[in-house]
Amino acid sequence: MKILVARGILRCGHDGSVVNVPSQTWVRINSSPVLVEADPQGRGIRMCPNMGVNIKPCTLTLAVHHGYSGFIRIGRQAICLDSVEGFTDGTPPGSVMYTVRAPGQLFVEAAR
């Protein structure tokens, strides 16, 4: 599995774009900071097309369900892998996931 970096692309299930904000900047791959535990959570989602009457578009990522390395840590936080996924706050609740479309780098892999 590839290590996820800030340049990576995460999308909601409707193809809205997740805004990556790294919490650490000292470890980088190809000059992009590696994302660590909790970085994908609570991030804004832009341009979710899921709109309508009684339909809430995805605007925020919720907790990560899986996708952290069990072996590699940076500052006591597990690094994110390209398998990161979790739910968004969009409707219907508890059914719209965000996932990684591209890890942002193709050089470094890590074990789950």
Q: pLDDT tens digit string along 1-23?
A: 999 999 999 999 999 999 999 99
Say how far apart CA 36 and CA 79 lie, in whole Å: 4
- The pTM of the full predicted model, rounded to 2 decimals, is 0.94
Average pLDDT score over residue span 78-88: 98
- Does residue 29 surpass a pLDDT of 90? yes
Which tokens belong to 39? 């970085």
CA angle 16, 11, 79 (to 5 degrees): 145
What pLDDT, in 10s, does the model give residues 42-73? Answer: 999 999 999 888 899 999 999 999 999 999 99
CA angle 97, 101, 104 (to 5 degrees): 130
Neighbours of 55 (CB within 10 A): 10
